[in-house]
A = this chain, B = another copy of it.
Amino acid sequence: MNFFDLVEKRRSVRKFSNENVPGKVIMKALKAALLAANSSNLQPWEFYWIKDKKKKEDLVKACFSQNAAKTAQELIVAVSRIDTWKRNRELILKDYKEKGKLLPIIEKYYNKVIPLSYRHDRFGFLGAMKKIISIFMKIIGLFKPIPRGPLYRHDVFEIVTKTTALACQNFMMALVAQGYDSCPMEGFDHKRVKKILNLNSKSHVVMVLGVGKADPKGIYGERFRIDDDLVIKII
């Protein structure tokens, strides 16, 4: 099936049949997810594949026992993190070094620019300080283009969640490519989901993905999109 047929075929399936999903299908889809574009190659994502029966039951409950979770053969939780950049940055720099390609500009980028964006404290002091500096920066910004963020912790969360979403779309498409379906869920008790996964405050649950084969009644209606010209603007 070509890419555009897959795009047409992918629908959010709310009810799955009881046909089992082979583990290698999930793993292949996860590996495709990890090849998505991502911010500064910092790969701030995590994918939790919940196999433990008790944890799975708890997760279904945390998703308000909605059908897409309850009938899913497999449940995967996509998580974004603002704290893995330090570890990942070291791995990236190590790889550059090993390949003999660590240019000064790359080293500066990962050692100076990235920490400036990603370093934050729990109480927002650093965010407030960045905000104050940004007020002075604005004067320079009157004369030439300048970077204006991320300032706050929530700005960094927006970046890492954005990147994780890129991977999620690959994941869902990779399932369709293998003849399986998914449902991305955002309706859940994020505090409970984080507890099940033992996540800290530097992580957000991006979405819970139910996976399986669609039940004949699994798609709740025809796809509806608003007119293209409301959202595609040629200027």
Which A positions have Cβ atoms within 8 angstroms of B?
2-4, 6-8, 10, 12, 27-28, 30-32, 34-37, 39-41, 43, 45-52, 55, 61-64, 87-88, 91-92, 95-96, 99, 101, 141, 145-149, 152, 154-155, 157-159, 161-170, 172-174, 177, 184, 186-192, 197, 204, 206-207, 221-226, 228, 230-235
Cα distance A96–B221 in the bound complex, in angstroms: 9
Known: A47-B233, A148-B190. A169 touches B91 (CB 8 A): no
**Pairs of residues from A and B, 6 with the lowest C-beta to C-beta distance, nearest first:** A165-B165, A3-B177, A145-B189, A169-B169, A154-B154, A166-B169
The answer to whether B159 and A165 have CB atoms under 8 Å apart is no
Residues of B within 8 A of A159 (CB): 186
Residues of B within 8 A of A52 (CB): 235
The answer to whether A31 and B228 have CB atoms under 8 Å apart is yes
Q: How far is the CB of A206 from chain B (nearest CB, A)?
A: 6
Question: A158 is contacted by which of B10, B48, B157, B230 (Cβ under 8 Å)?
Answer: B157
The answer to whether A233 and B165 have CB atoms under 8 Å apart is no
